[in-house]
Amino acid sequence: MNLPPCPLCQNTDYEQQQERTDGRWGFTTHVKTLLVCTRCRYVLTFYDRNSIWDFD
């Protein structure tokens, strides 16, 4: 996988998780992919898997 280094500690190991967020009035749901740094727990958020980095 081609992942960016963590902006805080330069670690390149992450835990991948997903988050669902409802829109303001509950009509839409947004799915986000979260990469959590295993060293410092910094969270990188990606929406709809559109990113300049290819992961997964």
Domain boundaries of the chain, sorted by first residue: 1-49
Token pair listed for 45: 């958020």
pLDDT in tens, 1-45: 678 899 999 999 999 999 888 877 777 777 888 999 999 999 998
Query: Do residues 44 and 31 lie in contact, with contact meaning Cβ atoms separated by under 8 Å?
Result: no
Please give the pLDDT value at position 1.
60
The structure's pTM equals: 0.71
Helix intervals (H) in the chain:
none
Q: How far apart are CA 44 and CA 13, in angstroms?
A: 12
Q: How far apart are CA 27 and CA 3, in angstroms?
A: 33
Please give the pLDDT value at position 16.
94
More confident residue, 41 or 49: 41
- Burial level of 35, CB count in 10 A (0-12/13-18/19+)? buried
